[in-house]
Chain A
Amino acid sequence: MATYLEFIQQNEERDGVRFSWNVWPSSRLEATRMVVPLACLLTPLKERLDLPPVQYEPVLCSRPTCKAVLNPLCQVDYRAKLWACNFCFQRNQFPPAYAGISEVNQPAELMPQFSTIEYIVQRGPQMPLIFLYVVDTCLEEEDLQALKESLQMSLSLLPPDALVGLITFGRMVQVHELSCEGISKSYVFRGTKDLTAKQIQDMLGLSRPAVPMQQGRSLQTPEQPVISSRFLQPVHKIDMNLTDLLGELQRDPWPVTQGKRPLRSTGVALSIAVGLLEGTFPNTGARIMLFTGGPPTQGPGMVVGDELKTPIRSWHDIEKDNARFMKKATKHYESLANRSAANGHCIDIYTCALDQTGLLEMKCCANLTGGHMVMGDSFNTSLFKQTFQRVFSKGYNGEFRMAFGANLDVKTSRELKIAGAIGPCISLNAKGPCVSENELGIGGTSQWKICSLDPSTTLAIYFEVVNQHNAPIPQGGRGAVQFVTQYQHSSTQRRIRVTTIARNWADAQTQLQHIEAAFDQEAAAVLMARLGVYRAESEEGPDVLRWLDRQLIRLCQKFGQYNKDDPNSFRLSESFSLYPQFIFHLRRSPFLQVFNNSPDESSYYRHHFARQDLTQSLIMIQPILYAYSFHGPPEPVLLDSSSILPDRILLMDTFFQIVIYLGETIAQWQKAGYQDMPEYENFKHLLQAPLDDAQEILQTRFPMPRYVHTEHGGSQARFLLSKVNPSQTHNNLYAWGQESGSPILTDDVSLQVFMDHLKKLAVSSAS
């Protein structure tokens, strides 16, 4: 087993890929019986310190329907200077530049350690990155001030040649012209009227036709930036100007009467931002960054009316079909997201408000374009400030951790077909022989567009085995998948990263143990979770849970060892042992449970879940709990109420929150001030330890987690109590008052109960 774990880890590090099954069942029928689909988590731009990009074009298979990239799995005839495509078996000549190759003189892409390789290609003009700020001015003075400062600060973080633009909105939407001197000039749009891209471009004076009139000029500078430059300017040219402009930014001047929400035209502002970029820089990497402090209250995309007495929709309203504006607004933002995605522009949403801000309706803007979604209470918090700063953080090599306009192309060998993908992408509708008719996630295509991605962006890609039952194990015994990701690097270079992997086929009837041993339960849990969350977006919550349960039961039936109808005999092998627990926590997670979460929160959580890599995803599913005590070094402990002990400090990381919880005794000690006494310095260290560890997590996590420091009995302890497995509750009295943890006041079932049921159902012959 150890070997498999190593294998999996090695593969992940090298290729950024984790498959649910690392040995593949060789027939369609067997594959479906495996319950967990054959799928993988792909991190296309996984940071690889040891992978210097090569400076030439990849060699492609000449078959028009294939075009796979030359890779280590290809058979090469060095003498004839031929290579055979391992996907379509086409024989190809090497291009002239490869004349000198031989067994000892191989190009990098043929070396086995370069199963993942990155090419830098020269295509088209290099366009600078574009950042378009879309700023809500209906904020409290304090918030606005903080936001202005953050924005001004961000100017210094941008690449100097990046283009920036500014749109502000409140009741009206203003597109600021950045090139003008003297009078500051802006184009104003009414916040209630939806405009087509063409209208927006006309009104901003961006329409082409004007140019030909002045022949002299059009000859010398045919490039488009001339036109658009009024609104998008290189940051190094106008940062002073823009800093001033941001400094002068006032709150929306329209009066807001008592009992009303400010009129906020988020829908139109976004529409204009999308239209502006669409007209001027299609297919160029660009970020639209929306900063908003409340829900859209007018115009297309409005989420709630301006009457404060009408609260914004809750899950309850949605279930009752009582959310008046939701469908229309969602449609509006979806169409914007699709347009934006089609042009390769991404939309970030930074919302800070105590109430909901309409993320539910707007989520697709970030989800479909790969944009960030950040939710906070106020712009004047470190959570926002640092998160925002982190958007512009740089990687180990001094490059921005962002890439744009990626095009992911997946190729499979014949026995496999592609069922779909789940992640921050849209379909490019590339039909082909390797596209399955059965869809999982965003299917029906072999190519997806990811408008913005960073090194941790991870997609789940689902496959279908199409080899017929009884057919022999395919030739060579291995199946292969190639991922080709073309993207615009933050340095504005076009790059192509190619990852080619292969796995063994195995006959499930005879070699089930191999397949079983090669099961990656972590990946499987995340892949199933993504499917579940994806379904939850469109289906009723209970249905999804039921589906998830059924899948789990079937899996247990298939791979468990038991005697029929004897729950006590049920055993799972080590490679499956954690899986039910993951599913247990997943069922309780905010990704599937909407109780106690607002629709915005649900959208926010789901957004992040659908793009994080495996490790982070697992944290989200099952938070990590560390215990600090005088009894030994810090140790991970069970996410269970029994872990909550008076003499422990607990550190919980749920990805979205970092909770430090002082046990009852510790809290008392701290109140008594022992940490300040020299003789109790060790207590001081104990208190400090979790803080330091938390700090470490805070340093790297994006978005910044909410940082909660609480203690036994503190109101914020709920963050911890709601996550742990309620093994002790007010119901099972036997534990009451004992030293063994802290009861949770809940009716939720505990893991124990869950497992008991699972066993019962799994062994039941009835099901």
Chain B
Amino acid sequence: MSVNQQAHTGPPYGQPQPGYQGYQQPAYGGQSLPGVPQAQYGAYNGPVPGYQQPVPPQGSLRAPPTSGAPPPASGASHPSGPLAYSQFEHGDVQNGIPASAAPVQRPPASQPFLPGSAPTPVSQISTFQQYGPPPASVQQLRNHMAGMTIGSTAASAPPPAGLGYGAPRPPAMPGPPLPGQTVAAPPSSQPNHVSSPPPPSTMAGLHPGPPMSGLHGPPPPTHPPQPGYPMQQNGSFGQMRGPQPNYGGAYPGAPNYGSPPGPPPPPKRLDPDSIPSPIQVIEDDRNNRGSEPFVTGVRGQVPPLVTTNFLVKDQGNASPRYIRCTSYNIPCTSDMAKQSQVPLAAVIKPLAALPPEETLPYLVDHGESGPVRCNRCKAYMCPFMQFIEGGRRFQCCFCSCVTEVPPHYFQHLDHTGKRVDFYDRPELSLGSYEFLATVDYCKNNKFPSPPAFIFMIDVSYNAVKSGLVRLICEELKSLLDYLPREGNMEESAIRVGFVTYNKVLHFYNVKSSLAQPQMMVVSDVADMFVPLLDGFLVNVNESRTVIASLLDQIPEMFADTRETETVFAPVIQAGLEALKAAECAGKLFIFHTSLPIAEAPGKLKNRDDRKLINTDKEKTLFQPQTSFYNNLAKDCVAQGCCVDLFLFPNQYLDVATLGVVPYQTGGSIYKYAYFQLETDQYRFLNDLRRDVQKEVGFDAVMRVRTSTGIRATDFFGAFYMSNTTDVEMAGLDCDKTITVEFKHDDKLSEDSGALLQCALLYTSCAGQRRLRIHNLSLNCCTQLADLYRNCETDTLINYLAKFAYRGVLSSPVKTVRDALINQCAQILACYRKNCASPSSAGQLILPECMKLLPVYLNCVLKSDVLQPGPEVTTDDRAYIRQLVTSMDVAETNVFFYPRLLPLTKADVDSDSLPAAIRNSEERLSKGDIYLLENGLNIFVWVGVSVQQGLIQNLFGVSSFSQISNALSTLPVLENPFSKKVRSIVDMLQGQRSRYMKLIVVKQEDKLEMLFKHFLVEDKSLTGGASYVDFLCHMHKEIRQLLS
């Protein structure tokens, strides 16, 4: 619905080009940003007064630094902001329409660049364009390349650009911005336009500003209350006026980049505050939808965002905790789908953990005959099945086949055609439930034995020396009492076994009847086998003393080891063989430290080569070195042997290859580079505990059935597929997510909608064979607008990221990036063309549901996998690539757009989190302390001028300079601030499936570089575009598509 347009256009200066002005970078400047911005977005719903409030604080913060002016302005602006949104609401349909807005943009812009010219007006201008570059720039943009080169600014010298992104542009950035110069000053080498802030030019752009303002009419300086706004808003973001004020002040004075200080030309950058803010969107959704439970009875209902806390009431559709879709309204025809380019995908987390307030799926036992299924497509009984002929038959909602109701299942229908027992049967009234499987659903037609956990510990020199072995053994002693158990069982049915290894493997007999454990060495690693059966896998309680004795002795036995070489594949084979011998499924916990170079199957060589980055061969870095592990994974899956891998590398160990088996068996990889006992043990132990204790199913097969017209065509995640429909996972835990893409193979009808049924057959941790069924009904549409109105950007990003991350296996990274940009441009262009009311081409109009698509997409493009910085190792990239592939929507959301919380703003007395702020350096004040988390790391950023009292309270040291970089936890101090911060950290840790590494970053310290990498709205050091730049680029792409 919402349209956001860029207002830019018009650089008044003469140049008539509409366009992009914006890009210029307002953002870079950073300084100005601070205060105001966010507020505006607030809720699109309505002008919420509330928003403004937030502002103030910010304003104040920022204020100090650069722009003096701002504060007031901001205040003013806010109001307008809200208004704007509200309009959207109304006009959903017409996104973008706002006539007024449109015009605005137009302003021909470019010329203005000329140096000096613009100053004053600027500020105003800036406002408009949030997105885009100020008019001036616009021209340039166009000229340049359409692309992004924003940086290059005015220079009209257009680099030929077709390139958009990736193209190595001449440095856009060049500091000295002479408009005209364009490229000239290309200081930085960054290839992507993105990277370099086009300072000067930008400035030029500024001028344009005025024009923009013109649109609104707002007078230069303070636009705040512009009448115009309201109108614009309709879709266009462009105008956030809030910002303007700031800018005004800011620009002039503060050369944002710093670099081009001198150059007066006030940049005509797009005001970052005026472009769609993730923070605002999240906040709005939280406020609007967090209070009411989400009731799933209605077809095609878009659930609240993942960032919102809400309760779910299952009334026939699966909870969004289990399934989320990119769109809840599917185009009826494939043509429409193609036209829109919006991927149809569902992100499924079949065993998702639920909050305590929600009930777990009911377990339905249909006795020996097993669950009732459609005769033809084998879909399971679900709320959408139609009972006919008085209840004697039912018609399948997926394939329309009519099936007899088995006698024992017969029930009369009431006058509405519903079965009388509708509410008594979970499979008739709920979206998610479980069936008890019969023996037909079991491997070899035998009910499974309870699964086993095997702990396999690397005892080579590094592992022993770092204290890791001792640590693991100590931990296991207590951890073994917390193995997952089913329901109310007294003790876990899971049996455990132990193996240590370096170049050879050591198995342990821990049979309860033994006085001492026995060690059995297998050195025939070329042909692995399990040396013992009885006594290897044991019940923890029965063998408690022997196990304890073993765990005591392992560190001693290897204390003097000099063996540095390790094997890897044989370790997995050993576990696999052990499970085979015991005829059960299970999980291997492998603790491994180094590249397996010892002579054995699956031996690897160091093939790390950074020179391959940005070449066609880059993909080989993500591919396994040998197909050996793929075959091994296949065997593991067949046996239900899931592998969880804990890595402790001090150097390259080829995660891409070692990860193959964990990945394909549905396991997890944890990586602790340069593991040090003091700093990393807590994190590792937490991960280990959680990993061991979490709910898990084994030997799982998942199939997604759909109603006629669409079908599941592609799957992403950690699993193995031996055919095109069944997703097989040796193990599946509550954090693992599978993304499924659907394609049309026929038409859908608006009446019947589209149905999904995800059936997961698995063995529970007590060895019970079960089927978990999730059903979801979606709407179908013949109007594209309906599609755009029911999309979920977070899910879309989840899909796109997984798609792209898989793409790097087969295509050069640049191709993948270009494809991503292109697809998004098409999505947005399609919207613009078909759904938005006509407006000037220069206006960027975004659908309300997708207004964050550009910023998120930019984050994906800038991620380590797609655009690695020099400090990102090959292993990191492979690790992240695999990690992201099984993330759910909430995880990808925070991973790509980290959460940044101003700790100093936290209310010590309440248990709420402080309001998040946008990920940009401009938003940071050096007098504050911030926390940033992305699901893997937590950074605590301390400004240089934070009050000593706060430092004392939080770190227990008296001054900024005494804060240690090496802190991995915050000291426990008895004061409200410390408590509050620690509780925040704990809360965040609790929300994530992995324990995040805590890193304390001091402003202007060398670690800050690392931190800045996560300020994803800023231009990144590795050449990633800033949000503003990217938005401009996107706009240009869209315009190209439209023209």
Interface residues of A (CB under 8 A from B): 172, 174, 182-190, 193, 195, 199, 202-205, 248, 253-255
Contact = CB atoms under 8 A, between A and B. Distances in A.
B557 A188 contact: no
Contacts of B556: 182
A190 B529 CA distance: 7
Contacts of B519: 183-186
A262 B520 CA distance: 21
Interface string B493-527: 00000000000100100000010111111111001
B523 A183 contact: no
Contact of B516 (A184, A190, A195, A255): A184
Contacts of B523: 187, 202-205
A113 B60 CA distance: 124
19 contacts: A174-B520, A174-B531, A182-B556, A183-B557, A184-B516, A184-B518, A184-B519, A185-B518, A185-B521, A186-B519, A186-B520, A187-B521, A188-B531, A188-B532, A190-B529, A195-B524, A203-B504, A248-B514, A253-B532
A137 B805 CA distance: 55
Given A182-B516, A183-B516, A253 B535 contact: yes
B521 A253 contact: no
Contact of B522 (A183, A188, A205, A253): A188
A440 B721 CA distance: 69
Contacts of A172: 529, 531-532
A185 B522 CA distance: 11
Nearest to B531: A188
B825 interface: no
A617 to B, nearest CB: 45
Contacts of A255: 533
A204 B518 CA distance: 17
Nearest to B535: A253
Contacts of A199: 524
Contacts of B514: 248
A262 to B, nearest CB: 13
Nearest to B528: A190
A202 B516 CA distance: 28
Interface residues of B, number: 23
Contacts of B517: 183
B524 A203 contact: yes
B550 A188 contact: no
A606 B690 CA distance: 68
B553 interface: yes
B527 A190 contact: yes
A205 B529 CA distance: 19
Nearest to A202: B523
A193 B531 contact: no
A174 B516 CA distance: 17
A254 B516 contact: no
A190 B524 contact: yes
Nearest to B581: A254
Contacts of A205: 523
A408 B504 CA distance: 44
Contacts of B520: 174, 185-188
Interface string B363-381: 0000000000000000000
B603 to A, nearest CB: 15
Contacts of B609: none
Lowest 5 A-B CB distances belong to which pairs?
A203-B523, A188-B531, A253-B534, A187-B521, A185-B519
Nearest to B529: A190
Nearest to B515: A248
B553 A182 contact: yes
Contacts of B557: 182-183
Nearest to B523: A203
A182 B519 CA distance: 10
Contacts of B522: 187-189
A199 B525 CA distance: 11
A649 to B, nearest CB: 53
A253 B533 contact: yes
A136 to B, nearest CB: 17
Given A183-B517, A187-B521, A253-B533, 12 more contacts: A183-B516, A183-B519, A183-B550, A185-B518, A186-B519, A186-B520, A187-B520, A188-B520, A188-B521, A188-B531, A189-B522, A190-B527
Contacts of A190: 524, 527, 529
B518 A189 contact: no
A186 B524 contact: no
Most buried by B among A188, A189, A190, A203: A188
Contacts of B550: 183
A645 B190 CA distance: 118
Contacts of A184: 516, 518-519
A182 B557 CA distance: 9
B651 to A, nearest CB: 22
Most buried by A among B523, B534, B556: B523
Nearest to A254: B533
A591 to B, nearest CB: 42
Given A188-B507, A188-B521, A253-B535, A193 B516 contact: no
A186 B518 contact: yes
A185 B553 CA distance: 12
A572 to B, nearest CB: 65
A141 to B, nearest CB: 15
B222 to A, nearest CB: 79
Given A202-B523, A203-B523, A205-B523, A183 B518 contact: yes
A176 to B, nearest CB: 10
Contacts of B535: 253
Nearest to B557: A183
Most buried by B among A183, A186, A255: A183
Contacts of A183: 516-519, 550, 553, 557
B559 to A, nearest CB: 12
Nearest to A184: B518
Interface string B157-179: 00000000000000000000000
Interface string B5-34: 000000000000000000000000000000
Contacts of A195: 524
A200 to B, nearest CB: 9
Contacts of B516: 182-184
A494 to B, nearest CB: 36
Nearest to B532: A253
Contacts of A253: 532-535
Contacts of A186: 518-521
Contacts of B507: 188
A338 B519 CA distance: 33
A195 B532 CA distance: 20
Nearest to B521: A187
A193 B522 CA distance: 13
Most buried by A among B504, B520, B550, B556: B520
Interface string B246-266: 000000000000000000000
B223 to A, nearest CB: 77
B102 to A, nearest CB: 78
Nearest to B522: A188
Interface string B549-592: 01001001100000000000000000000000000000000000
Contacts of A187: 520-523
Contact of B524 (A182, A185, A189, A254): A189
Contacts of A202: 523
Most buried by B among A186, A190, A202: A186
Nearest to B503: A205
Contacts of A193: 524, 527
Nearest to B556: A182
Contacts of A182: 516, 553, 556-557
A182 to B, nearest CB: 6
Nearest to B514: A248
A183 B507 CA distance: 12
Contacts of A174: 520, 531
Nearest to B519: A185
A272 to B, nearest CB: 11
Contacts of A185: 518-521
